[in-house]
Amino acid sequence: MKPARLTTHGILFGIGMTYVALLILLPIAVLAIRTAQLAPTDIWQILTASDTLAAFKVSFGQAFLASIFNTVTGVPVAYVLARYRFPGRKFLELWIDLPFALPTAVAGIAICGLYSESGWLGSLLAPLGIKIAYTTKGIFVALVFVGLPFVIRTVQPIVENLDLAEEEAAACLGASRFYTFRRVILPALMPAIVTGFSMAFARGLGEYGSVIFIAGNIPGESEILPLRIVHALESYDYATATILATTMLTISFAILIAINLLQRKHALKH
Amino acid sequence: MNSPTEEPTWLRRALIAFAFIHVALMIILPFASVIAQACSEGFATFTRTFSSRDTIHAIKLTLLIALIAVPINTLFGIAIAWGFTHVKIPGKRVLLALLDLPFSISPVVVGFLFILLLGKHGLFGGWLEARGIKIIFAFPGLLIVTLFVTMPYVAKELIPLMDGRGREEEEAARLLGAGWWRIFWRITFPEIKWGLLYGIILCTARSMGEFGAVAVVSGNIRGRTNTLPLHVEALFQDGDLPAASAAASVLAILGIVSLVARTITDIKAKAKSKN
């Protein structure tokens, strides 16, 4: 390309990239510098403090459980939406994206109201001795809500594009429908399922708005990692906030890279 | 008799029923419950909530932030997408991954990043304080974190639409002497307009609904730095669940609008690609 042609494109690209660098890279660089300035012994002490360990356990544990739940329930829903035609399908399609579109504070208050002891579901569960609001179960329920569309929306297009000939071949060779699903369909969906799971998990780890309404937020018990950072900031404990932020950012990066590699590997196969 | 690539009828019915029950229980029920809570004391709750000065201020603040952040990120989003799809440079995958970052970082970490950068003890804290400029715990801070979390929406919608489409027409127009603006307005824009509109709607919804990032940099001063989502939490902490739900149901409309917009823009985009 001649330099003269490049100018407008180049300028636009330069402006865009400067904006991205100032808005996203600069703050991350500052966080990295602040982390590097901390003494390794302090870092170790902060990461192994009992409240921090408890927050790690709550966040990772509940995000993992919620993503597993969303994967197990999401795959059949994605299959139904992709393969079957039935009345009300468009209606379902519309509602599935609601957790992406609803502000997290609304999700939080909605779930809290639903599962509190006077709520529609909470009042049914209370006589059975099941308490959800203000416990770690509340965190699970909130994370299920915000993560629900990920697996469905990554798996559904893959089901739509599956080659029916492979399934016909399996059936002609005498495979049962279940066997075909397990040995032909499921392996083809696996990369999308793992991607959807990872996205839901990453979202669950970082989620704040919807969780704090229902979690009870007791340090060492039902305090998630992002809330641990907020509590550290409120007590001007910048060292703890810095290290936890760096840890969370590193995990976000790692998941993002893993998803990218997975997609690239899968794209190369086809 | 079923075709060999279909499940038996009973299984199909069971799976469809499962999908309906799942969506009803997990998504529709919470949504209906917040609306019901807001209406539990009749219309009086709405009158009470929306005549309070703090609520009115929160709504104005939220609208003002969106009014500034959305146009900025729309313009930069177009520039990024255009540059990304028209300039040949190595390392584009890294750039694309960079655009995913605001979606994958915890909102609380986003808020904290800007406290480290612009807060009292932050990198530019001393410089700003010497000039009497307050960013964190004030309006500019709310605006900046909103710019961060809504940055990718327009660009990410546009990149797949601009990639590879209409390139011959662009080339022809350029050979005929059309300037950049004419090429964009006459050739690119008609191709991307529905995607652009959808990106803008998503960007608006997120900028009005953001909670975590603004919570960290807001300082939660009622009537000063409380946006509408933060005000929902403040009312909730007061124990006023009906008022909090009433404020939340206004925000819920945002969600519904973006869902309906998605459906409409999808239909329009499909109709276009069929032509």
For the domain that residue B169 is a member of, what is the CATH number?
1.10.3720.10
Q: pLDDT at residue B274 above 70?
A: no
The residue of chain A with its CA nearest to that of B244 is A109
Q: Say yes or no: B200 contacts chain A, CB-CB below 8 A.
A: no
- List the single best residue of B6, B11, B95, B105 to mutate versus A (max A Cβ within 10 A): B105
Q: pLDDT at residue A192 above 80?
A: yes
The per-residue pLDDT for B19 is: 97
- B77 and B24 fall within a common domain: no
- B94 and B207 fall within a common domain: yes
Task: Give Cα separations from A91 to A96, A120, B23, B110 (angstroms).
Answer: 9, 23, 10, 35
CA of residue A242 relative to chain centroid, distance? 22
Q: Which of residues 18-37 of A touch B (CB under 8 A)?
A: 19-20, 23-28, 30-31, 34
Mean pLDDT of B111-121: 92
CB atoms closer than 10 angstroms to residue B267: 11
Nearest one of B232, B206, B234, B208 to B220, comparing CA atoms: B234
The per-residue pLDDT for B1 is: 46
The per-residue pLDDT for B164 is: 67
Instruction: Report yes or no: A207 and A227 within 8 Å, Cβ to Cβ.
Output: no
- Both tokens of residue B28? 């529709």
- B202 and B267 fall within a common domain: yes
- A10 and A136 fall within a common domain: no
Which domain range does residue B22 map to?
Answer: 1-38
- Both tokens of residue A19? 């904006």
pLDDT in tens, A114-146: 999 888 999 999 899 888 888 899 999 999 999
Cα–Cα distance measured from residue A198 to residue A193, given in angstroms and rounded to the nearest whole number: 9
Contact A177 B37 (CB under 8 A): no
Q: How far is A1 from chain B (nearest CA, A)?
A: 9
Q: What's A217's DSSP letter? A: -
Task: Map tokens 């985009």 to a residue.
Answer: B269
- B132 and B250 fall within a common domain: yes
Q: Say yes or no: A55 contacts chain B, CB-CB below 8 A.
A: no
The per-residue pLDDT for A2 is: 43
pLDDT in tens, A26-72: 999 999 999 999 999 999 999 999 999 999 999 999 999 999 999 99
CA of residue A241 relative to chain centroid, distance? 22
Burial string for A2-31 (b: 16+ CB within 10 Å, else e) reads eeeeeebbbebbeebbebbeebbeebbebb
Q: What's B184's DSSP letter? A: I
Quote the percentage of chain B above a pLDDT of 90.
Answer: 49
Cα three-residue angle A48-A68-B6, rounded to 5 degrees: 165
- Both tokens of residue B178? 């059309």
Q: Which of residues 104-163 of B touch A (CB under 8 A)?
A: 104-109, 112-117, 121-123, 144, 147-148, 151, 155
The per-residue pLDDT for B177 is: 83
- B170 and B245 fall within a common domain: yes
Q: Say yes or no: B50 contacts chain A, CB-CB below 8 A.
A: no
CA of residue A151 relative to chain centroid, distance? 10
In chain B, how many domains are there?
2
Asked if the structure places residue B47 within a domain, the reply is: no
- A84 and A165 fall within a common domain: yes
Asked if the structure places residue B45 within a domain, the reply is: no
Asked if the structure places residue B164 within a domain, the reply is: yes
Contact A8 B180 (CB under 8 A): yes
Mean pLDDT of A186-203: 94
- B181 and B139 fall within a common domain: yes
Cα–Cα distance measured from residue A113 to residue A135, given in angstroms and rounded to the nearest whole number: 14
- A202 and A228 fall within a common domain: yes
- A123 and A228 fall within a common domain: yes
Mean pLDDT of A178-198: 92
Instruction: Report yes or no: B100 and B201 within 8 Å, Cβ to Cβ.
Output: no
Cα–Cα distance measured from residue B61 to residue B194, given in angstroms and rounded to the nearest whole number: 28
Cα–Cα distance measured from residue B221 to residue B137, given in angstroms and rounded to the nearest whole number: 8
Cross-chain CB nearest to B27 (options A148, A172, A242): A148
Instruction: Report yes or no: B65 and B146 within 8 Å, Cβ to Cβ.
Output: yes
Q: pLDDT averaged over chain B? A: 88
- B33 and B127 fall within a common domain: no
The per-residue pLDDT for B261 is: 84
Place A269 in a pLDDT band, splitting at 50, 70 and 90: low
Least confident of A13-27, A199-213, A255-269: A255-269
Residues in chain A with CB shorter than 8 Å from the CB of B93 are 260
Least confident of A1-15, A87-101, B207-221: A1-15
- B92 and B219 fall within a common domain: yes
Q: pLDDT at residue A1 above 50?
A: no
DSSP string, B222-237: TTTT--HHHHHHHHHH
Q: Which of residues 177-196 of B touch A (CB under 8 A)?
A: 180
The per-residue pLDDT for B2 is: 58
Asked if the structure places residue B247 within a domain, the reply is: yes
The per-residue pLDDT for B165 is: 65
Contact B29 A120 (CB under 8 A): yes
Q: How far does chain B reach from its first CA to its final CA, in angstroms?
A: 38
Mean pLDDT of A204-217: 92
Q: pLDDT averaged over chain A? A: 90
pLDDT in tens, A86-101: 999 999 998 998 998 8
Place A6 in a pLDDT band, splitting at 50, 70 and 90: low
Instruction: Report yes or no: B207 and B66 within 8 Å, Cβ to Cβ.
Output: yes
- A52 and A20 fall within a common domain: no
- A30 and A49 fall within a common domain: no
- A33 and A56 fall within a common domain: no
Q: Say yes or no: A188 contacts chain B, CB-CB below 8 A.
A: no
Contact A17 B95 (CB under 8 A): yes
Nearest one of B66, B58, B73, B17 to B205, comparing CA atoms: B66
Q: Which of the pair, B160 or B163, is modelled with greater confidence?
A: B160
Asked if the structure places residue B44 within a domain, the reply is: no
Cα–Cα distance measured from residue A60 to residue A38, given in angstroms and rounded to the nearest whole number: 25
State the pTM of this model. Answer: 0.92
Contact B33 A257 (CB under 8 A): no
ipTM higher than 0.85? yes
CATH number of the domain residue A48 falls in? 1.10.3720.10
Cα atoms in the 13 Å half-sphere on the side-chain side of B92: 13
